[in-house]
């Protein structure tokens, strides 16, 4: 219980017992809600950086005072672009988590997401935060935390909103960290007050730095880091939520690569957390709930020499008449081959569709100058799928990693931000579950043929032994 007793004083959950012993947060309709004078005082304290939320989609509704057809056209054009939401103080990439209220509408009253009754439903704030502090300093964060505590107001944290369920909250005051863009490279970094720790190349990034910005800065010095596959994702939220990417097979997950964090705890203290000080907090923020235990101002993460990268893809479609049972046995057999690839330092992502049955798998092997190795490694996988399917395609290429990222950045945005309505779940699955082919096939069949499942899985291969060896150096 040592860990729990140590963390409870610094948990944001402690605020739930703040004012007058209340177990609930103060809502805008409650008498305890801060007055206009209170909000003005907060705005003065944070140097005029307080934003009162107006739903962005309101410019499309004639019933709203800020109706603006030109602004609405711009919004309709950009609503599906993730960069719009990442740079907006309140919106998130998935409107399900903002209660799908006040999404932009076309002149006929249909919303951009296809709801024909959107105009009739009207525009409301939904689950978007009522007020936002555009925080750029520790003092801005501390003042916001103090205000939320004194007034028993619900608190929220947002950078890019790529984690929508944790980036919006009804009736809340939000800390927007998106403009904390400080960046520093260390040729030899050792965590503070940690004399026994090994030194390592590293980068310290502000809470607003995004993956693309991190990689661009490192590439100028022929370095790289473990980062996500979307250049728009924020490093801090991505890493503290686990974080996987192209280099995970060689260097581990994002959370594994965090060396140190600067955090403002809920009681307003500015602390440094690493493996030698505030160790429980350091452990907690890398466990999937980074914003639960404090507001992260910066992270220091491992940096690595720029590698080359071999990439291979395998895709297939099932033969006509293939049964669900037969299909999922093929997919389970692919997982058996994945384990071998894992041990060889290859990681990748796959998607298995159900209507029709199809499969696509992209794999990466860093620090290889040509495709000879990865071609050899994936040949048993190709033989396996060719036995069971009419159409199998495969390809491979090698490149210097910046070339791969340049291709990634040149691709148009995914076009699904602001339009998604699915609930996603992520699990780290133990190796033994993958190796039990029969049980895995049965499980995939149960999940895959449910009407609610659009895609069965997108999976990461994580070679644990290699990762632990690499991170121990």
Q: Which of 21-25, 85-89, 167-171, 199-203 has the lowest mean pLDDT?
A: 21-25
The answer on pLDDT for 271 being more than 60 is yes
Instruction: Give residue limits of the domains in the chain.
Output: 10-176, 183-305, 308-400+409-464
The answer on pLDDT for 465 being more than 60 is no
DSSP string over 383-426:
HHHHTT-SEEEEEEEEEEHHHHHHHHHHSPP-S-TTT--PPP--
Considering only residues 462 and 54, tell me which one the structure prediction assigns the higher pLDDT.
54
C-alpha–C-alpha distance, residues 394 and 315, integer Å: 6
C-alpha–C-alpha distance, residues 225 and 228, integer Å: 10
pLDDT digits (tens, 9 = 90+) for 304-342: 999 888 889 999 888 888 888 988 998 899 888 888 888
The CA radius of gyration of the chain, in Å to the nearest whole number, is: 24
Kindly indicate the confidence band of residue 396, based on its pLDDT and cuts at 50, 70 and 90. Answer: confident
Q: Pick the closest to residue 414 from 178, 86, 102 (CA basis).
A: 86
How confident is the prediction for the chain on average, in pLDDT? 85
Considering only residues 89 and 230, tell me which one the structure prediction assigns the higher pLDDT.
89
pLDDT digits (tens, 9 = 90+) for 142-182: 999 999 999 999 999 999 988 877 888 999 999 999 999 99
pLDDT digits (tens, 9 = 90+) for 257-266: 999 999 999 9
Kindly indicate the confidence band of residue 5, based on its pLDDT and cuts at 50, 70 and 90. Answer: very low
The residues, any chain, with a CB within 8 Å of residue 158's CB and separated by 6 or more, are 89, 90, 92, 129, 132, 167, 168, 174, 175, 176, 177, 178
C-alpha–C-alpha distance, residues 286 and 292, integer Å: 11
Residues 113-140 have a mean pLDDT of 95
Phi-psi region of 242 (alpha: psi -120 to 50; beta: other; left: phi over 0): left
Kindly state the tokens that stand for 102.
């006040």
- In this structure, whether the domain defined by 183-305 belongs to CATH 1.20.1090.10 is answered with no
C-alpha–C-alpha distance, residues 403 and 400, integer Å: 6
385 to each of 163, 346, 364, 380, how far by Cα in Å? 35, 18, 19, 9
Percent residues over pLDDT 90 in the chain? 51
Phi-psi region of 133 (alpha: psi -120 to 50; beta: other; left: phi over 0): beta
Please give the pLDDT value at position 230: 86
Considering only residues 298 and 353, tell me which one the structure prediction assigns the higher pLDDT.
298
Please give the pLDDT value at position 397: 83
Q: Find the helix packing angle between 372-386 and 324-343, rounded to 10°.
A: 160
């Amino acid at each position: 219980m040592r860990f729990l007793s140590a963390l409870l004083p610094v948990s944001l959950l402690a605020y739930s017992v703040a004012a007058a012993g209340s177990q609930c947060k103060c809502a805008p309709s409650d008498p305890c809600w801060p007055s206009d004078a209170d909000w003005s005082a907060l705005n003065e304290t944070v140097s005029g950086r307080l934003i009162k939320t107006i739903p962005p989609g309101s410019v499309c509704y004639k019933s709203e005072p800020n109706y603006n057809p030109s602004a609405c056209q711009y919004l309709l054009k950009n609503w599906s672009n993730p960069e719009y939401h990442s740079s907006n103080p309140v919106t998130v990439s998935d409107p399900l988590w903002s209660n799908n209220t006040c999404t932009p509408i076309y002149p006929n009253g249909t919303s951009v997401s296809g709801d024909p009754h959107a105009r009739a439903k009207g525009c409301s704030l939904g689950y978007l935060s009522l007020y936002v502090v555009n925080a750029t300093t520790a003092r801005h964060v501390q003042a916001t935390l103090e205000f939320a505590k004194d007034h028993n107001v619900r608190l929220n944290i947002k950078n890019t909103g790529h984690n929508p369920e944790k980036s919006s909250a009804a009736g809340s005051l939000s800390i927007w960290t998106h403009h904390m863009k400080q960046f520093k490279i260390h040729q030899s970094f050792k965590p503070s007050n940690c004399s026994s720790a090994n030194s390592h190349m590293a980068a310290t990034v502000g809470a607003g730095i995004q993956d693309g910005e991190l990689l661009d800065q490192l590439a100028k010095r022929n370095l790289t880091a473990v980062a996500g596959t979307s250049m728009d994702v924020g490093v801090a939220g991505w890493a503290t939520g686990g974080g996987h990417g192209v280099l995970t097979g060689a260097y581990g997950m994002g959370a594994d690569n965090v060396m140190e964090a600067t955090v403002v705890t809920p009681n307003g203290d500015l602390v440094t957390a690493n493996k030698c000080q505030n160790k429980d907090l350091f452990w907690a923020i890398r466990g999937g709930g980074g914003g639960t235990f404090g507001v992260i101002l910066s992270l220091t993460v491992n940096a690595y020499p720029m590698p080359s990268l071999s990439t291979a893809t395998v895709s297939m479609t099932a033969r006509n008449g293939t049964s669900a049972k037969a299909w999922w046995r093929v997919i389970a057999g692919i997982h058996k081959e994945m384990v071998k690839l894992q041990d060889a330092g290859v990681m990748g992502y796959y998607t298995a569709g159900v209507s029709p049955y199809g499969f696509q798998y992209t794999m990466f092997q860093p620090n290889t100058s040509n495709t000879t190795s990865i071609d050899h490694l994936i040949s048993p996988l190709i033989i396996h799928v060719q036995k069971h399917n009419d159409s199998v395609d495969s390809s491979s290429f090698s490149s210097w990693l910046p070339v791969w990222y340049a291709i990634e950045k040149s691709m148009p945005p995914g076009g699904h931000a602001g339009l998604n309505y699915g609930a996603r779940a992520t699990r780290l699955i133990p190796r033994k579950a993958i190796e039990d082919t029969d049980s895995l096939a049965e499980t995939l069949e149960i999940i895959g043929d449910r009407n609610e499942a659009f895609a069965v899985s997108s999976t990461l291969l994580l070679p644990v032994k290699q990762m632990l060896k690499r991170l121990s150096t």
